[in-house]
Structure 1
């Protein structure tokens, strides 16, 4: 069932006994809580798209169905998308398939890591092209939208009429930038011209009535799958349907207060959602990261703290167990010690990236005196110990001596966290036979 066909299934919700019973109970707070989390990925995608189409996102042109390119690696000024990486150059295109399919041209990247992820408006990766899937030889692919006919090895499909293409190309230091720019220049989209909509949407900070009105508009533009019908049955008291229906005027002041209370609970719950299980000092991603199914809580948490996360076969993202949840608050130094022969098993690259924590739960790169925002297998100053082990030093100030070359600077003050990325992880990392060493106070 495609998303447009889902409308028929969702229209039948009113006949579902559970939906009628829930509506009769009138549990607005519970409905608002679940609906707010469900709508957050749509809102975050719309907010990120608006930044791009108004020229507020660096390296992205104000237009649909064309790529904009970041020409330098992300730094502290990159605040358009939470948890940016400092390993790859991004190329980004917001696409509209309502006028017909698009043709995507990929560059010949050879052995260099390269990917283009096609995300629907619910943040699922409907497809990933590149090193792992289509190879490094480049080529042309047809992107089809819901209900558009076509099949074959050069066809990929987006399950919503609108979406986001995000390319990542590995950069091996500053001297490698011209070669990556040449690859970016080969990325292209061809297809019908589309004028961006003038519609505006509320952001996640908006009052509940404005927020849900925007979610309703986004659901009309990009219908949900039929598999979400049970959720719409549960939130029936709110009047938010899969067809986008929502009428704030039918609620009195007391009911609006109840809805706002549910939204407040959702905001609080969002901060407590963990993307996976903690094992030996690290939280490992759930298997459904990047294609979430009906795991609406995880989808919402990732939309806030890691929008555009790739599926596990493409990349694994590990978060540490710090002094306070994911956060580190002490002065350090902290150390992450890999035993001899115990570096992460990957077929592309690995890195450890530093982030300062924002009050709203987002994370961004942080200023530091040596302008090092990540450390990993391509860092030229890394030095192993005499026994072959490797120490990564995490500290607010230079740990000094031979440790400086292995130093990942932390913010001078305030809470911080790190993210460990493993691109094209090998089976032993994916299935848990290999575990990262913990970060401990030195």
Structure 2
């Protein structure tokens, strides 16, 4: 491992390299769990095969933080080194059912979409091409999605209108199809890419140590250097960070190890400063997700997106107003307090909206007596409304009076946060003056627990 700078210089570069690279490591944790580690409880399917999950997320699902529990998911880990893939989707039934395939590269950029908003509900065949593809006949495809990394993750979402609609969702999922381009064109054989020696992920704890750079270097070998980042990669190489470079923390001197640890701490300090702005409403969480062009090489924003809700959608597809603080700028805590969110009118979403509860420590869904993890559009005819037509959601650990249970979003007896989701939001929701209603502390928590 070659390091060509002083510890003081290294610390500054490490901070930037960590902000740049940590999302790739987090992405790898998921890809490894979903498609490489057969013994992992979150394993889905081999690479280039689709896995359809005919249920919504629960607290038992732990691979993704801040998960969406509105839509049954489909997953495809893709390898585009040998040739493109073809993703085929059916026409939606009924015609107004929302669906999407979010295409995420190794950097965690959303490089393309297939679905209701982006390509319509009429079905079709869509080519997914990697950086090595030199082109060919495009006439047989309803769209082409270009990925700048050799590996990628596709996350499909299919709207569930209500619990007894699940069989219809399963029928749609069964028609989603992934093929190599050769298979789609009728060839009995497809070219095979070289085998990959997959390293063991460093995990959440290791992700905050210099060991994470070994995973980052591994991931970068599948990411041809973007023209805008040539100078950046040259700078990172001075600390031994780059595509396929060997990295072993045991090779670091005590002084250099301290520099790496300090640079990582500096990166997290930048995140915490930005997180305070999120809590204060000065920055929208929708700013952290999108294409490379949209994020415009803002690596702190990409890092923050991976931390607060990896694989978040681009704002045109969905936005996620976070309730990480109440109206008094305090962290919500179900052990001490009760809270309300009063919506004067329903959120401006063309597809659907929801508000989901999360434990602040684990960033996962919250176990509760109702088995209710969110409130959403499908519950609109069951909610209790005010005389003025407003809707008040009760976020608390103890069960409210019987009449208000339809409006209850159970909270843990611990610090928590909630996330509102608007799928295919109206433009005013992300470009205009619309703001989500605040979370207000409504009183002390009851001793009764959910």
TM-score by length of 2: 0.85
User: Partner of 1:307 in structure 2?
Assistant: 310
Give the whole-Å Cα distance in 2 for the aligned partners of 1:199 and 1:243.
12
Contact conserved, 1:350 with 1:422, CA < 8 A, in 2? yes
CA distance in 1, matches of 2:420, 2:41: 25
Q: Does 1:351 align with 2:333?
A: no
* 1:278 positional shift: 5.9
For 1:243-292, what per-residue CA distance to the aligned partner results, in whole angstroms no more than 9, with x for missing partners? 6465757642221222122223323443443397567x696334452223
Deviations 1:290-320 (A, max 9, x none): 2233111121122122111110000001112
Distance 1:176 1:326 in 2: 39
> 1:157-196 CA deviation, whole Å, 9 max, x = no partner?
1111100010001111210110001111111111146687
Distance in 2 (alpha carbons) for counterparts of 1:275 and 1:81? 23
Secondary structure in structure 1 of the residue aligned to 2:119? coil
Whether 2:426 is the aligned partner of 1:426: answer yes
Cα 1:416–1:59, aligned 2, differ >3 Å: closer, same or farther?
A: same
Q: In 2 relative to 1, CA 277–44 (structure 1 residues): closer, same or farther, beyond 3 Å?
A: closer
Residue of 41, 49, 57 corresponding to 2:31: 49
Q: Is the CA contact (8 Å cut-off) linking 2:59 and 2:364 kept in structure 1? A: yes
Residue 343 (structure 2) aligns with: 338
2: CA distance, partners of 1:24 / 1:333: 52
Distance 1:260 1:310, change over 3 A: same
After superposition, the C-alpha distances for 1:117-170 in whole angstroms (9 at most, x for unaligned) are: 111000001101100011111111111110312356522111111000100011
Partner of 2:169: 180
CA contact (8 A) 2:324 2:417 kept: no
- The aligned residue for residue 320 of structure 1 is 323
Cα distance in 1 for partners of 2:102, 2:41 equals 19
Task: Give the equivalent residue in structure 1 for 2:184.
Answer: none
Give the corresponding residue for 1:165: 154
Q: 1:247 to 1:414 in 2, by over 3 A?
A: closer
CA distance in 2, matches of 1:396, 1:196: 50
Q: How many residues align?
A: 415
Instruction: Tell me the alpha carbon deviations over residues 196-239 of structure 1, each in whole angstroms, 9 at most, x when there is no partner.
Output: 73311433532745321221121112234221234335545413
SS at match of 1:205: helix
d(CA) in 2 for partners of 1:426, 1:313: 8
Superposed displacement of residue 45, structure 1:
1.1
Task: Tell me which moved more, 200-209 or 348-357.
Answer: 200-209
| CA deviation profile, 1:335-386 (whole Å, cap 9, x unmatched) | 11122xx22111100000000122xxx5110101111100022115212112
Measured in 1, the distance between the counterparts of 2:238 and 2:42 equals 43
Structure 2 residue 64 is the aligned partner of structure 1 residue 111 = no
Of stretches 87-96 and 238-247 in structure 1, the one that deviates more from structure 2 is 238-247
Note if contact 1:60-1:69 (Cα within 8 Å) is conserved in structure 2: no
Distance 1:325 1:91, change over 3 A: farther
The residue that corresponds to 1:3 in the other structure is: none
Question: What is the aligned partner in structure 2 of residue 37 from structure 1?
Answer: 19
1:165-244 to structure 2, matched below 5 A, reads 165-191=154-180, 192=190, 197-200=196-199, 201-206=201-206, 208-241=209-242, 244=245
Q: Which residue of 1 aligns with 2:296?
A: 293
Does the 8 A contact of 1:60 with 1:70 survive in 2?
A: no
Q: Which residues of structure 1 form unaligned runs of 5+?
A: 1-19
The answer as to whether partners of 2:7 and 2:255 remain within 8 angstroms in 1 is no
The CA distance in 1 between the partners of 2:330 and 2:51, in whole Å, is 33
Equivalence for 1:5: none
> TM-score with structure 1 length normalisation?
0.86
**Preserved contact between residue 59 and residue 71 of structure 1 (Cα < 8 Å):** no
The equivalent residue for 2:365 is 365
Deviation at 1:429, TM superposition (A): 1.0
- Answer yes or no: is the 8 Å Cα contact 1:48–1:81 preserved in 2: yes
Q: Do 2:84 and 2:133's aligned partners in 1 also have CA atoms closer than 8 Å?
A: yes
* Cα distance, 1:74 vs structure 2: 0.7
**Which deviates further from its counterpart, 308-317 or 206-215?**
206-215
Distance 1:164 1:437 in 2: 34
3-state secondary structure, aligned to 2:242: coil
Q: Secondary structure at the match of 1:64?
A: coil
- 1:28 maps to 10
Q: Contact between 1:223 and 1:243, CA under 8 Å: does it hold in 2?
A: no
Mapped pair 1:78 → 2:61: yes
